[in-house]
Structure 1
Amino acid sequence: MKRIFLTGVVWFLISGSLAASVAPSALLRYDLKPEEIKTVCKAAKEKSESDLKTLVDVPVQTRSFDNTPLALENALAQYADEISGPTFLKYVSTDKAVRDAAHDCEVDSEQYAVEVYTREELYSAIKAYVDKGGSLAGEDKKLLEKILLEFKRNGFGLDAEKRAQVKELKKLLIDMELTFGKNINEYKDHLELSRQELEGLPDDFVNRLSITKEGKYIVTLDYPDYFPFMENAKNDMARHDLQFKFDNRCSTTNVRLLEDAISLRYRIAHLLGYSTFAHYVLEDRMAKSPERVSEFLSSARKKLKTKARQELKERLELKAKDMGKDQAKRLDVWQWRYYNNQLKKLRYDVDQEKIKEYFPLEVVSYGMLEVYQKLLGLRYEKEGDPDRWHADVELYRVFDAKTNDLIGHFYMDLFPREGKYKHAAAFTLVKGRRLPDGSYQKPVSSIVANFNKPTADRPSLLTHDEVETLFHEFGHIMHQVLTRAKYGRFSGTSVARDFVEAPSQMLENWVWNKDVLKSLSGHYQDKTKKLPDDLLGRMIKAKNFDSGLRYLRQNFFGAVDLEYHTKPLADTTALYAKLMEEVSLIPMTEGTHPQASFGHLMGGYEAAYYGYMWSEVYSADMFSRFEKEGIMNPELGLLYRKLILEPGRSEDEEEQLKKFLGRAPSDEAFLRSIGVK
């Protein structure tokens, strides 16, 4: 599942200290030992405390924007800079002790943010500046508004006793959320199967599996094993067993954590005067209210269900031929990927294993960078031997193609390993922002993904879905690295959560263009052999053959998340099962607890998962302009860079869209793009 990485409830995306003209390798350390991580994090907090004391001590009569709201912004941004490297190691280090120390630092930093925004002396200082009646405009005005909103959302306006309760509950919630995610990252399990039980899997998949002393093949729950297995394994029981384990990841720890967190969220929302936690969350989002989100999801569901029911019927017909009519009354969760894949092969002669041969990671990456360079007016330059957290990692510099100015850097960490973050995500390591000396801090970001590692006889080969994922995450990287926002809290992908996916979703469309796909392909045995025209045409024709069920599944995730955060409940499993069958048309497997590994619910997307579909409406609308004016139109690409990627949240998201589209956005392009009338 494509996802941008955002931390906790208060802090911005993790950033890191970087002088304007120095390469990240000179200042970001990835070789820290556990004790060094503790020392760095402690020192960062002490520096922040010193900066905040200086702010508080300013006499009322001399308070100004620079020494009060801006001083608060700079102190917290610098603190986030200092803890960037240490906390990032939680997601990429191979050393568990390092990951644990980084986790502790992250918990402490999140809780520190809550403490800062519940301090009476800081609020009084900001209020004293406001009471002087100064006039602000643009990003400065927006900064002050967001600071005041942050204080309000942490209890100012309540009496001291209630504010103290909010603080303690939020700190407890942060610990739960980060522990939930850590449990998922650290979780390990597998199936041990005979060679016969692997029937249907391609030889290259089988050949890279580990084998036990008893001759059994080990299939893990990691994505490079899970997805190919669920799509290709003929053995229905084997698929059931792997899915059962997959949907029970962390069930013994995380179900309780989630339910306790939901309860805490309700208490926090009610203390702060909100009807539900969803009302609290959505106050600062484009949607503004859960009622509007519910209407959006309900309306989309009605439009999707006719197509989805027809798709379900077709897959059940295929299952009936395979297993008999008496076994084809429903499509179970361990069957839908398999029959989806088989139907695609039958109807369109599209075999993902064959397609993979034309998408070596090295060729795709090179082609992708070429596309982004031409479209956005950039030049990328790979560094030879940078400091990095693992030998697999690559580092690139980003330059403006016209001025040759250095803009920022990005890392690519694309292969799985022990203890690594298990999904695909874009991490901000250094936020672009204006520093106190007036210079602009160069942004640094990293893609963290889990594609198949090269083997002795084959390079890393990507499915078309994985090519799309890479384009998506790199879209986030460009949003982060190309930012020109003045302040860290508005930098890059620090936009409203229900807009954050739109810029990168828009860029996914390039991997459905015939000419672009040709440029991204090259058979692993002979790179001059591009994806054949007939296969390419069938792939594009098959784009929407499962869009009904696929988008209903996304709709379900948004619906269950919203229900969790708008209605008090004691049993997250029962509600998950009820809504999964009602909305997605595919039932949850009895005895499983998929919500225990639904990381978004505790990773910044709580009451906000709807944002994936919400954003896609905007992304399709933006892409409609490229369809009309040219998919590789460099002038339009530069306009997209200037109006959508550079502002971050320094401008309201709807205004950005109106400027780029020349009108208010609509859902017509989205529905057309997924084949729904």
Structure 2
Amino acid sequence: MLSKQCLTWRNISRAAARRVTKRSSQASLYVASTTTDGKFFSTMNNRHNIISSFQKQNTFDGSCKRTFFGSLFAGSNPFTEALLSENETFTHINYSKLKPIHVKQAADEMQAKYESDLKAFEESLNDDVDYETFIREIERISRPLITLQNHVVLFSCVKRDPTFDEALREANSTIDLKHEYSPAIREHLLRLQKGFDDNSNEEHSRVVNHLLRKHRINGSTNDVVEAVKEIRSKLESVQSDFLFKSSLTMEEHGKMATPQELLPMMYSQVALQQQLALVLGYHTYAEYSLDYHNAMAKNVKEIQAIHGMFEQLRAVEKFSSDEFQSAYIDLKKTSDLDLNEYFEMNHVLSGLFDLCSALFGIKIEEQKSGVNGWHLDVRLYQIYDMDSGENIASFYLDPFRRQHKDRGCFMAPLQYQNESNIPVAVVSLDVKAPMWDDAPIELEVQNVIDIFHEFGHLLEHVLADVEHGAFSGAQDIENDASETISQFMEYWLFHNNGFSKISSHIHSKESISPDTMKLLLQERQAKKATELLHRLFLGQLEVEISSKFDPNGDESIIALQRKCAERFCPHHMPPKGNIDPLVQLFQSNANGKNTMQYRYIWSEIMSADLFESFSKSENLPDTGRKLRKEYLAKGSSVPTTKAFEAFQGRSAQADALASRYELIG
């Protein structure tokens, strides 16, 4: 999910953008923070081009066989050198050589090659082209362009200087994944689909259905591709203007938009969204959005049932009471502790890596040389399977806030797994950099929570073991299950004094006291309860807007906001003339999360249920490896509900989450 500053054109990278995730740098009770939804920035280090290569054998001691493409001659392009290489070894792009011009040049060259290869493949299609041949060729043709598209999303967050921003805009306008609406490709997908039966490989069926869904939401199925492009272009234009104006602040810009300026833009977006849905053959925009996001929820009634369940559990009555809210306010006042000196980043990371080793049988080691990152602070890590010693994944860590880097935290995929390549991803944090290079890197409590949360998203990406990652990897997990493992990882900090275990004072080496741990847990529980009400409020408001609201009707959108607030947030009613909840919602939707506010609650039901098995387990390594095998390794090759049932032996139940909120005994 991209930040409010991120212009809508970036949202065209559908598969990549949907997997970009975020945690606010503040412990906000809002579902989608108004600070960021996932981005990075970095200042490019344009040093003199030199030939650079780093190769090691793939051994368990942390070294690995990797090729780092340097500049072989002046003006060479790190993107095309790596992504168009015929070399079968996995390649990391040499970002230290990257210049703005390289992005647009790579887009032009890769798009041209993609279109040429796609055309030749379309002409060769016939009934004899089987599933394996078809999917492998589509992946070969599209993989470089999809990987470049992922990097456009990445650099739109980490390189927000005018030169790179313009280059990224140009590259984004060039990238066009035509196989996602090609009639010839669609017809062959339908032929493959007809050939499947009950005994067919489930992953194969899901890959085909995934690609057909792309055609459906792009208008290929109804032959309305151009009409869809036109409506989306108009919608993105309005959303871009809305994101810009709604982000103005008196402190930074000396002005801010009034509700009178923003409301017409909201109505325009709703009208265009409804038009888009109808053109594509959906009854409502909510129906379209659930399909677009590959949701487990198939209709609005299922979302409303979740909202209604918490009403029946009397969550609103309990958490909106004066007694609860007063206690929460008092708790926030007394818990303003300065614990930074207890949480040094490298120590916290070591504790996190040890936990992942114990649970999932993986070993994480930092690669000290040959990183070639987009900033000198960027680190590179290799992930190994502890049983085989095999190098199974890589990830970059971009830890510090800086100029030209968006605030907030997120995980973003760069490359998906296939037969030749391991997955690669990025974790970006919002840590305050130390004043001196050799000074301890002190973390706030929220920084620690963010690290564990984003690492959960990373685990979903790097531990998915599927045949064709670009089509059926972690990137296509149902969106309303996307927060499950990230929230699961957070639970460890508040379970059995988790915060205490990873704390170590930078001078005394002491852990935080039991009283401090107790206070952190109390604040966490109160904050989550208040957050739950706001998520119910925004979720219901979004459902109403996307399924029932008539922008030309008698009821105003402000009246709808008030009605939903009265139902779920009676303790925090927006003042007259205040449209902040609507602004937050439309900013989130403009960044690609339409009808997805409920996903946090849906995911949390599963994460609490999963974690309860661990809290009761007598053998954590066995339970963790089972979760990796039955749930994480499946990626999106099977439905999330099926993977969950394979691990838990039953479907997800809300009892564990209700118990955490103390709504049941």
TM-score where L is the length of structure 2: 0.79
Query: Could you say if the C-alpha distance between residues 486 and 97 of structure 1 is closer, same or farther in structure 2, counting changes exceeding 3 Å?
Result: same
1:168 partner SS: helix
1:305 & 1:536 partners in 2: Cα distance?
27
Residue from 265, 271, 291 that aligns with 2:301: 291
1:78 aligned partner: 144
2:654 aligned partner: 667
Query: Could you say if the C-alpha distance between residues 626 and 149 of structure 1 is closer, same or farther in structure 2, counting changes exceeding 3 Å?
Result: same
2:495 & 2:660 partners in 1: Cα distance?
13
Residue from 517, 538, 542 that aligns with 2:499: 517
2:423 & 2:592 partners in 1: Cα distance?
22
Deviation sequence 1:609-630 (CA, Å, 0-9, x none)? 1011011000000111101105
2:105 aligned partner: 39
Query: Could you say if the C-alpha distance between residues 460 and 429 of structure 1 is closer, same or farther in structure 2, counting changes exceeding 3 Å?
Result: same
Query: Could you say if the C-alpha distance between residues 101 and 302 of structure 1 is closer, same or farther in structure 2, counting changes exceeding 3 Å?
Result: farther
2:443 partner SS: coil
1:649 partner SS: coil
Query: Could you say if the C-alpha distance between residues 480 and 79 of structure 1 is closer, same or farther in structure 2, counting changes exceeding 3 Å?
Result: same
2:23 aligned partner: none
1:52 & 1:137 partners in 2: Cα distance?
26
Amino acid of the structure 2 residue aligned with 1:668? D
Query: Could you say if the C-alpha distance between residues 447 and 651 of structure 1 is closer, same or farther in structure 2, counting changes exceeding 3 Å?
Result: same
- After alignment, is 612-621 or 361-370 more displaced? 361-370
1:492 aligned partner: 474
Residue from 638, 643, 652 that aligns with 2:639: 652
Residue from 387, 390, 401 that aligns with 1:405: 390
Within a 5 Å distance, the mapping from 1:497-576 to structure 2 comes to: 497-526=479-508, 528-570=509-551, 572=557, 575-576=560-561
1:619 aligned partner: 607
1:275 aligned partner: 283
Deviation sequence 1:555-588 (CA, Å, 0-9, x none)? 1222222222112344655544543354223122
Residue from 344, 347, 357 that aligns with 1:360: 344
Verify the 8 A CA contact 2:107 2:148 in the aligned structure 1: yes
1:236 aligned partner: none
1:263 aligned partner: 271
1:149 aligned partner: 213
2:186 & 2:258 partners in 1: Cα distance?
40
1:472 aligns with 2:445: no
Q: CA deviation at 1:151?
A: 2.2
1:369 & 1:139 partners in 2: Cα distance?
30
Query: Could you say if the C-alpha distance between residues 313 and 516 of structure 1 is closer, same or farther in structure 2, counting changes exceeding 3 Å?
Result: closer
Q: CA deviation at 1:314?
A: 4.8
1:476 partner SS: helix
Verify the 8 A CA contact 2:431 2:443 in the aligned structure 1: yes
1:442 aligns with 2:422: yes
Q: CA deviation at 1:253?
A: 8.2
1:416 aligned partner: 401
Deviation sequence 1:327-385 (CA, Å, 0-9, x none)? xxxxxxxxxxxxx4543455xxxx33233332233322222122122221111111224
1:482 aligned partner: 463
Query: Could you say if the C-alpha distance between residues 454 and 258 of structure 1 is closer, same or farther in structure 2, counting changes exceeding 3 Å?
Result: farther
1:275 partner SS: coil
Amino acid of the structure 1 residue aligned with 2:539? G
Query: Could you say if the C-alpha distance between residues 309 and 458 of structure 1 is closer, same or farther in structure 2, counting changes exceeding 3 Å?
Result: farther
- Provide structure 1 residue ranges, at least 5 long, that are not aligned to the other structure: 192-219, 222-240, 319-339
2:306 & 2:498 partners in 1: Cα distance?
33
1:62 aligned partner: 128
2:182 aligned partner: 119
Query: Could you say if the C-alpha distance between residues 56 and 547 of structure 1 is closer, same or farther in structure 2, counting changes exceeding 3 Å?
Result: closer
1:261 partner SS: helix
1:445 partner SS: strand
Query: Could you say if the C-alpha distance between residues 353 and 393 of structure 1 is closer, same or farther in structure 2, counting changes exceeding 3 Å?
Result: farther
Q: CA deviation at 1:269?
A: 1.1
Amino acid of the structure 2 residue aligned with 1:267? Q
Aligned residue-pair number:
582
Identity percentage over the alignment? 21
Within a 5 Å distance, the mapping from 1:280-359 to structure 2 comes to: 280-283=288-291, 284-303=294-313, 304-310=315-321, 312-316=322-326, 340=328, 342-346=330-334, 351-359=335-343
2:338 partner SS: helix
Verify the 8 A CA contact 2:385 2:391 in the aligned structure 1: yes
1:559 & 1:282 partners in 2: Cα distance?
15
Amino acid of the structure 2 residue aligned with 1:300? F
1:575 & 1:601 partners in 2: Cα distance?
17
1:178 & 1:277 partners in 2: Cα distance?
19
1:664 & 1:458 partners in 2: Cα distance?
48
1:504 & 1:344 partners in 2: Cα distance?
24
Q: CA deviation at 1:53?
A: 0.7
1:278 & 1:128 partners in 2: Cα distance?
30
2:393 partner SS: strand
Verify the 8 A CA contact 2:2 2:591 in the aligned structure 1: no
1:68 partner SS: helix
2:403 partner SS: coil
Deviation sequence 1:433-478 (CA, Å, 0-9, x none)? x2xxxx3421111112223332469754333333222101111111
Deviation sequence 1:125-177 (CA, Å, 0-9, x none)? 4445556789842211221222223323333453x4x4431232234445655
Q: CA deviation at 1:87?
A: 3.7
Deviation sequence 1:621-648 (CA, Å, 0-9, x none)? 0111101105x71111111111121111
1:449 partner SS: strand
Amino acid of the structure 1 residue aligned with 2:320? R
Query: Could you say if the C-alpha distance between residues 81 and 343 of structure 1 is closer, same or farther in structure 2, counting changes exceeding 3 Å?
Result: closer
1:369 aligned partner: 353
Verify the 8 A CA contact 1:29 1:85 in the aligned structure 2: no
Query: Could you say if the C-alpha distance between residues 52 and 573 of structure 1 is closer, same or farther in structure 2, counting changes exceeding 3 Å?
Result: farther
1:331 aligned partner: none
Verify the 8 A CA contact 1:274 1:280 in the aligned structure 2: yes
Query: Could you say if the C-alpha distance between residues 371 and 98 of structure 1 is closer, same or farther in structure 2, counting changes exceeding 3 Å?
Result: same
Within a 5 Å distance, the mapping from 1:197-208 to structure 2 comes to: none
The root-mean-square deviation of aligned C-alpha atoms, in Å, is 3.4
Query: Could you say if the C-alpha distance between residues 563 and 374 of structure 1 is closer, same or farther in structure 2, counting changes exceeding 3 Å?
Result: same
Verify the 8 A CA contact 1:356 1:461 in the aligned structure 2: yes
